[in-house]
Copies of this chain bind each other. A is one copy, B any other.
Amino acid sequence: MQLGATCLEGGRCEFLVWAPSCREVSLHQVAPRDRILPMERQPRGYWRLMAEDMPPGARYFYRLDGERDRPDPASHYQPEGVHGPSQIVDHQRFSWSDQGWRGCALADLVIYELHVGAFTNAGTFDAMIERLPVLRELGITAIELMPVAQFPGERNWGYDGVQPFAVQHSYGGPEGLKRLVDACHREGLAVVLDVVYNHLGPEGNYLWDFGPYFTDRYRTPWGDAINFDGACSDEVRRYFLQNALHWFRNYHIDVLRLDAVHAIRDFSATTFLQELAEQTREFSLGNQRTCLLIAESDLNDPRVIRPAELGGYGLDAQWSDDFHHALHCLITGEALGYYGDFGNVGDLVKTYREGFAYAWRYSSFRKCRHGASAADRPAQQFVVCSQNHDQVGNRMNGERLIALAGFEAAKLAAAAVLLSPYVPLLFMGEEYGEENPFPYFVSFEDAELIAAVRRGRKEEFEDFHAAGEPPDPQSPRTFAAARLDWSKRDQPRHRAMLAFYRELLRLRRANPVLARRDNNQLEGWGLEDEKLLWLRRWNEQAEVWILAN
């Protein structure tokens, strides 16, 4: 029961859509010819059609109740954008060259997060391919793509996606992504894809017309929550579970990074995340390829990464925001907003030892106790960074760490991350000390929405910034400012930074103590007044002392 359009032999195509809110559903083919084919009602609100003469490349809408043409909720391609018709993709056609690829073990991940649109001047998957050798030589083992699911317009961080199965047309669509992943695997690089299962974007979200994908029982920062535990939630879950497997199967993605799992409101006895972890594990075993799930979570809840036997959801790893915040505050001295909870060397030591600094401790920012101890979890289950798209881009001006704290401080931060026992994540450009900002950008079409986003952006920064106007998120110039400047890599200072990163990554691989993902054989002390941190890591034969100030 594959949702969406599935190409079969002889030019046939099977369509399946969940639309329990509709009395009648038809397929409205719009290219290469125009015709309407009635669909057959199935149990539990599904509608099915086996269509003849429906080749890959054909474009279609679903016509709901004989009235409204809507793109396929499980569309694999939206060549004309979020409001346009869906296009049939035949995933058998691509010839993969990565037959020998078996994925990358969690402990071996060194992640490089990037935005497809801003990573190169062309802003496409194909343009990225020639840059891969540089990343491999640096010592990266995986690239992480910010979300590529179809979003409104051509510029967006990706968290406003509304067709979770479709690959953004302006990046190069399905074929482009496949060529990129194939090239990564040829280079020995794994691919992490950021997927958003906690909300849909505000423009082009037609799911409301199909069925109860959302629930008003929970509110999230983005409005009504996705219905993961109410009536009809089996079908909503199937949609997102198939989405995960879609990326693993059709695009050979190695790791899914799950955006903001704390906004996946789910009180059921068997949670969606548990199901997702089980199905991912099953797929991984069945395909003899390492497929992993890494969560972004604001909960500091070890349940997210504990195995099911211990009452957990069984995800493989999660980001440690505490590590970032503790490091960031020591380096920048910032104390506004959530940074007010950090600033002690002791907090950073604690994250080195246990993953979280807040393990059921009072947070002034949250105004309540926060978190639980994750000291029982192995080090490889935590992903740490000194900056990422969120921490950079959620600032009013999108300043990177180097712009805030300078060159030497950026080196210190790099060492703090790369000599940690955790899985490190770099944000594109930091490896050569890129100073360009990474501001928030969108390209909506709806004028009201654009105004609301501009307004929201200003309101958001009342807490963080005393004065100044945030850059206009809708402006192409704001997006253009985010682009990496590849020419910098040849300039002396930037070359020095690059060499420093390369050396740190080499050390991390070559030194037997540093190569271990182990925070038990690690101890640390801090002098708060001097902002001095010692770390001692060891194994049976050797030890490494790290002194940071």
Contact = CB atoms under 8 A, between A and B. Distances in A.
Interface in A345-400: 360, 362, 366-372
A260 to B, nearest CB: 12
A483 interface: no
A229 to B, nearest CB: 7
13 contacts: A218-B219, A231-B367, A234-B368, A234-B369, A262-B267, A268-B369, A269-B300, A269-B301, A269-B370, A269-B371, A270-B369, A311-B311, A311-B312
Interface residues of A, number: 35
Given A218-B265, A230-B368, A234-B369, 6 more contacts: A232-B368, A269-B300, A269-B360, A303-B311, A309-B310, A311-B311
Contacts of A137: none
A216 interface: yes
A270 to B, nearest CB: 5
A367 B229 CA distance: 10
A306 interface: yes
Contact of A218 (B218, B301, B362, B368): B218
A421 interface: no
A269 B297 CA distance: 11
Which 3 A/B pairs are nearest by Cβ-Cβ distance?
A311-B311, A269-B301, A269-B372
A237 B368 CA distance: 10
A303 B309 CA distance: 11
A234, A265, A309, A367 — most chain B CB neighbours (10 Å): A367
A341 to B, nearest CB: 13
A262 B230 CA distance: 13
Contacts of A231: 366-368
A217 interface: yes
A306 B216 CA distance: 30
A312 B372 CA distance: 13
